[in-house]
Structure 1
Amino acid sequence: MSRYRRVNIDGKSLYKTETRKTAAALYPGTFAVINGSNLFAQATTPIGRMYVVDSAYHEGLGITDQVPSGHSAIGNYLEEGREFAVRVAAGTYTKDQAITVVAGQAAAVPTTAGTYKVIGYCQDAVTTTAVDFIRIRVRADSVVVS
Structure 2
Amino acid sequence: MSRYRRVNIDGKSITETRVAAAALLPGTFAVIDASDKFAQAAAAAGRVYVVNCAYHQGLSIRDAVPAGDSAVGDYVEEGRELAVLCPAGAYKKDSPIKIGANGQGALATDDTDTVIGYSQDEVTLTAADFIRVRMRVGTVAAAITEP
Long gaps (5+) in structure 2:
143-147
Q: What does residue 9 of structure 1 align with?
A: 9
Unmatched runs of 5 consecutive residues or more in structure 1? none
The structure 1 residue matched to 2:122, chosen from 112, 119, 125, is: 125
Give the number of the structure whose alpha-carbon radius of gyration is greater.
2
- Aligned match of 1:105: 104
**Equivalent position SS for 1:49:** coil
Q: TM-score, normalised to structure 2's length?
A: 0.92
- Over residues 42-65 of structure 1, what are the superposed CA-to-partner deviations in whole Å (9 max), with x where a residue is unaligned? 001111100000000000001010
Of 101-110 and 69-78, more deviation after overlay is shown by 101-110
2:21 aligns with: 23
Which of 52, 55, 71 is matched with 1:54 structurally? 52
- Output the CA distance in 1 between the equivalents of 2:83 and 2:35: 27
Q: Give the SS at the match of 2:62.
A: coil
Q: Shift of residue 9 of structure 1?
A: 0.5
Question: Cα RMSD over matched residues?
Answer: 1.2
**1:105 and 1:142 mapped to 2: Cα distance?**
18
Shift of 1:142: 2.6
In 2, are the aligned partners of 1:80 and 1:138 still within 8 Å (CA)? yes
Contact residue 20 and residue 71 of structure 2 kept, 8 A: yes
Structure ranking higher in strand proportion: 1
Instruction: Give, in whole Å, the separation in 2 of the partners of 1:64 and 1:40.
Output: 18
**CA displacement, residues 48-89 of structure 1 (integer Å, 9 cap, x when unaligned):** 100000000000001010000010000000001000010000
Aligned residues: 141
Question: How far does residue 115 in structure 1 lie from its aligned partner after superposition?
Answer: 1.4
Between the aligned partners of 2:78 and 2:45, the Cα distance in structure 1 is 15
Contact 2:50 2:75 in 1 (8 A): yes
Contact 1:21 1:71 in 2 (8 A): yes
After superposition, give the CA deviation of every residue in 1:76-110 in whole Å (9 maximum; x if it has no partner).
00001000010000111000011110121100112
Q: Partner of 1:79: helix, strand, or coil? A: coil
What CA distance in whole angstroms lies between the structure 1 residues aligned with 2:127 and 2:141?
27
Identity of aligned residues (%): 62
| Matched letter for residue 44 of structure 2 | P
**Equivalent residue, structure 1, for 2:65:** 67
Shift >2 Å, 4+ stretches: 141-146
